A and B are shown apart, each in its own frame.
Chain A
Amino acid sequence: MRLQLAGEGHFGLSDHRPRGGSRRGWGMTIAMVAGTLAIAVVSYSLSMKVSGERAELEQIARENHALAQDLKALDSELRVRMRLPQLQRWNDEVLGLMPISATQYLRNPLHLAAYGTDPVPVAPAPVTTSPSAPAIIRAIVPAEPQQPAAAPRTQLVSRTAPPAAQAAGRPVRTVAAEVSKPQKPQLVKVAAADVAQPRSLLDPELLAAIDAAAAREAAARPAGQAPANLLLQVNMDNSATASGGH
């Protein structure tokens, strides 16, 4: 109450400026308002732009995140499909690959050269294209070759052969596979026919020679007999191990 009454007098900040000079004041005010407006507009547009950029960035980051999750999911699926127990099952049921036996290792050029003294004279020639790597040759045999059900398996194995053979530097595998199982003339014939058709790198004469050599070898030696000279007849021993394993 008292305050209110006391407020009758001069209260607050007093304007001591004379009222007369108002034109300059007006100008000032307009300029200030315009400046403020201008700054506000510029700042606001800047702020808009920044937030726009940021939103875009966030969007990209979110997309990245989603993509990473998709990748992970797909990767997981692939991993599950190629899980080791599954590969093992395929091998047990279809492929029948076996671990390399000691006699199938070629340790040095001498071993390699020993391949050349075999009844198949041209076999080691392609191997010389990669002399640095130790050549490890696997015997690809069907799991149970004696059974009549072996026919489709044979095809499955030989189907993989042509692309491998088409690659210029790697005819080793097919040749070795043929050489390593001379006791199964049927299998050899299928593989040879398949291999010979799409490819012109190895001439048919050579293949015929290999076939003939294999047949000769099979006729000469009864199954399962261990060769006398390991070093000289490594490939023959391969076949013995491959068939003897079952």
Chain B
Amino acid sequence: MGPAAARQADVRLPGHRQTALALARQRLAIGILLFVGFTLLLTARLVELSMFDGEPRAGRGAVASPHLRADIVDRNGIPLASSYEAFGLAARPYDIVGDREELVAKLAQILPERTPAQIAAALNHKGKFRYVARRILPEQAQAVREMGEPGLTIERETERLYPHVDMAAHLIGYTGIDGRGGGGIERAFEERLTDPDLRRKPLVLAMDARVQQALESELHAQMVAVDAIGAAGVVMDVHTGEVLGMASLPAFNPNSPGGLVGMPSHMNRATLGVYELGSTVKVFTVAMAMDAGVLPDLGERFPTAPIYISRHRISDSHPKGYPLSVPEVLIFSSNVGTARMAERLGKARQQEFLKKLGFMDRAPGELLEAGRTLLPAENNWGLSSIMTIGFGHGMAVSPLHLANAYTTLVNGGIYRPATFLKVAEGKDRPGTRVFTERTSELVNTMMRLVVLDGTGRRADAVGYRVGGKTGTAEKLREDGRGYDRGRNITTFAGAFPMDDPKYVVVTLIDEPRGALRGGGSVAAPVFRNVVNRIAPVLGVAPDLTVEPDTSAMEGLWKPRPPGQRGAAVIR
């Protein structure tokens, strides 16, 4: 302490002590307050921890939980897609201590599905981490663990399992390596499936796995039998618009979809593929003409002489040589007759009906793979377009479009867009009226006659009162110059039981080879087999004593002799 400071310290002003004391007390009080406050804070936190702490940690596993994505089940609760924890084998090359050659040999024994070269590539990879194999079996994981190599680790990861493998692959879709939906329902309902509040509840589809399996196996059998390049099929409930089955062949395995998304097998032919479906569209032309009032008399006869219009020649593939009544136009699938009806209908009304039937929009339903229909341009929609559309050419729609339009026609005339989700029982879906009930009834009867006495006889599933329409269309030539007679699209679209239609089935075989390439001989038998298999499952009992009332058509067509009607002749 210097002399100046000492001198200063000696100086004492009056009141100095009191001031200092007050200051000290004030500081002390602040200190105590701080201390007490801190203690209170700790106490409060302790109380909170001991009394109001959250759930125990058990629920949230440290590793990927299998509940990260909701399951998908069919309408009866059969799982179609579920998540589970799979094992993956990873290599950390820097941590490997053993001899790599030896390690590769051992791993190749444990993992026969990977080649030694692939394993060696992963082990010698210049990085910190690489998968050797994903989705290995528990036994394999155990065997690798027992090797005790620190550079090989077993990873738990959530994997998506599709138990039915390639069944309904296009409808359900698949998930990519990042776990996000890559197609079908998985893609369309990505948000719903990953919503934390909903992912414990499975997503219930309208699909019935048994129906789907029947549809796919019958389509596949026929596809192999006629050496076709593809096939598609749709089964729909006519009153709710639910899609009970939708097949697209060839299919793929969604468990390992690969990166080849552009391949033909990945294209959903039922929703994304649009085809000129040919004569199956004729029933709509007849229904439109009847509804529009341009066909007052079903007994009216339509000549079958070919029509020549602007470079086109419209003629019948089964020419009859005599004028046909309205039911006969459908029974014998007369192009000329339906072209004449379409001509009477005119452009405006035809477009209006097509719009109401959904043919102007993308394919109905929730899937994002919804095909856009091909129609003539507005300024090119002349008389020849009107006529060709009348018998199903010059317009390309997807099989789902067609099935949905058939449900509209047979259910009494009400259009309800297709849905892939289950509709709660007893719940009525709103729809828009397209045809009158009377029209629907009459056309249903005509469709029954097509199967009994017309081109669709091979579709007659005995006892199920099937009705429908065949379709055969030629594909466009590769060089764009007209149609190729050798490459056909054969379809059959129909419903059962025709006295009270409940289900619509559409079958399509793409490019059948062989002598018989018509819809009546290729697609119709598939329809019959499918109906025979799915009707008992769907609760439709066969009845040989019931037939739809055909009295309205009395005298308008010539029934075949009883022994040759429907399936009686072809079995």
Chain A residues with a Cβ under 8 A of chain B: 1-3, 5-7, 9, 11-13, 47, 50, 54, 57-58, 60-62, 64-65, 69, 72-73, 75-76, 79-80, 83-85, 88, 99-103, 105, 107, 136, 230, 244
Q: Are A47 and B50 touching (Cβ within 8 A)?
A: yes
A168 to B66, alpha carbons, bound, how many Å? 45
**12 examples of A-B residue contacts, CB within 8 angstroms:** A5-B9, A6-B16, A6-B24, A64-B58, A65-B59, A72-B66, A75-B79, A80-B165, A83-B163, A85-B216, A100-B542, A105-B542
Given contacts A72-B82, A84-B167, contact A101 B59 (CB under 8 A): no
CB of B28 within 8 Å of the partner chain: yes
Of A83, A107, A136, the residue contacting B543 (CB under 8 A) is A107
User: CB-CB < 8 A to B487: which residues of A?
Assistant: none
User: CB-CB < 8 A to A6: which residues of B?
Assistant: 16-17, 20-21, 24
A69 to B58, alpha carbons, bound, how many Å? 13
Q: How far is the CB of B16 from chain A (nearest CB, A)?
A: 7
User: CB-CB < 8 A to A84: which residues of B?
Assistant: 164, 167, 209-210, 212-213
Given contacts A76-B84, A84-B213, contact A62 B58 (CB under 8 A): yes
Taken residue by residue from 48 to 67, chain B's Cβ proximity to chain A (1 for < 8 Å, 0 otherwise) reads as 00100000111101000010
A50 to B541, alpha carbons, bound, how many Å? 64
User: CB-CB < 8 A to A3: which residues of B?
Assistant: 20, 23-24
Of B28, B541, B543, the residue contacting A12 (CB under 8 A) is B28
A-B contact count (CB 8 A): 103
Given contacts A5-B9, A6-B20, A99-B536, contact A85 B166 (CB under 8 A): yes
CB of B462 within 8 Å of the partner chain: yes
Whose C-beta in chain A lies nearest to the C-beta of B82?
A: A76
Given contacts A61-B58, A80-B161, A84-B167, contact A103 B544 (CB under 8 A): yes
Given contacts A50-B50, A84-B164, A84-B167, contact A2 B20 (CB under 8 A): yes
In the A-B complex, the 4 residue pairs with the closest CB atoms: A102-B463, A61-B58, A102-B542, A79-B163
Chain B residues with a Cβ under 8 A of chain A: 5, 9, 16-17, 20-21, 23-24, 28, 50, 56-59, 61, 66, 79, 82, 84-85, 161, 163-167, 209-210, 212-213, 216-217, 462-464, 532-533, 536, 541-544, 571
Q: How far is the CB of B505 from chain A (nearest CB, A)?
A: 14
Q: Are A11 and B24 touching (Cβ within 8 A)?
A: yes
A57 to B57, alpha carbons, bound, how many Å? 10
User: CB-CB < 8 A to A76: which residues of B?
Assistant: 82, 84, 161, 163
Q: How far is the CB of B461 from chain A (nearest CB, A)?
A: 8
User: CB-CB < 8 A to B166: which residues of A?
Assistant: 85
A44 to B75, alpha carbons, bound, how many Å? 56
Q: Are B58 and A101 touching (Cβ within 8 A)?
A: no
User: CB-CB < 8 A to B543: which residues of A?
Assistant: 102, 105, 107
User: CB-CB < 8 A to B217: which residues of A?
Assistant: 85, 88
A102 to B464, alpha carbons, bound, how many Å? 8
Q: How far is the CB of A140 from chain B (nearest CB, A)?
A: 16
Whose C-beta in chain A lies nearest to the C-beta of B1?
A: A1
A79 to B212, alpha carbons, bound, how many Å? 16
Q: Are B167 and A65 touching (Cβ within 8 A)?
A: no
User: CB-CB < 8 A to B17: which residues of A?
Assistant: 6, 9
Q: Are B85 and A107 touching (Cβ within 8 A)?
A: no
Q: How far is the CB of B540 from chain A (nearest CB, A)?
A: 11
User: CB-CB < 8 A to B20: which residues of A?
Assistant: 2-3, 6-7
Given A2-B9, A9-B21, A62-B58, 16 extra CB contacts under 8 A: A3-B24, A5-B9, A12-B28, A47-B50, A57-B56, A58-B56, A58-B58, A61-B56, A72-B82, A73-B84, A79-B161, A80-B163, A83-B164, A85-B164, A107-B543, A136-B536
User: CB-CB < 8 A to A65: which residues of B?
Assistant: 58-59, 61
Q: How far is the CB of B67 from chain A (nearest CB, A)?
A: 9
A62 to B62, alpha carbons, bound, how many Å? 11
Q: How far is the CB of A109 from chain B (nearest CB, A)?
A: 16
Q: How far is the CB of B207 from chain A (nearest CB, A)?
A: 12
Whose C-beta in chain A lies nearest to the C-beta of B533?
A: A99
Of B24, B161, B164, B532, the residue contacting A7 (CB under 8 A) is B24
Q: Are B57 and A58 touching (Cβ within 8 A)?
A: yes
User: CB-CB < 8 A to B216: which residues of A?
Assistant: 85
Given contacts A2-B20, A79-B79, A102-B463, contact A54 B56 (CB under 8 A): yes
Q: How far is the CB of A2 from chain B (nearest CB, A)?
A: 7
Given contacts A50-B50, A80-B163, A83-B165, contact A72 B59 (CB under 8 A): no
A64 to B17, alpha carbons, bound, how many Å? 72
User: CB-CB < 8 A to B85: which residues of A?
Assistant: 69, 73
User: CB-CB < 8 A to B210: which residues of A?
Assistant: 84
Whose C-beta in chain A lies nearest to the C-beta of B159?
A: A76
User: CB-CB < 8 A to B28: which residues of A?
Assistant: 12-13
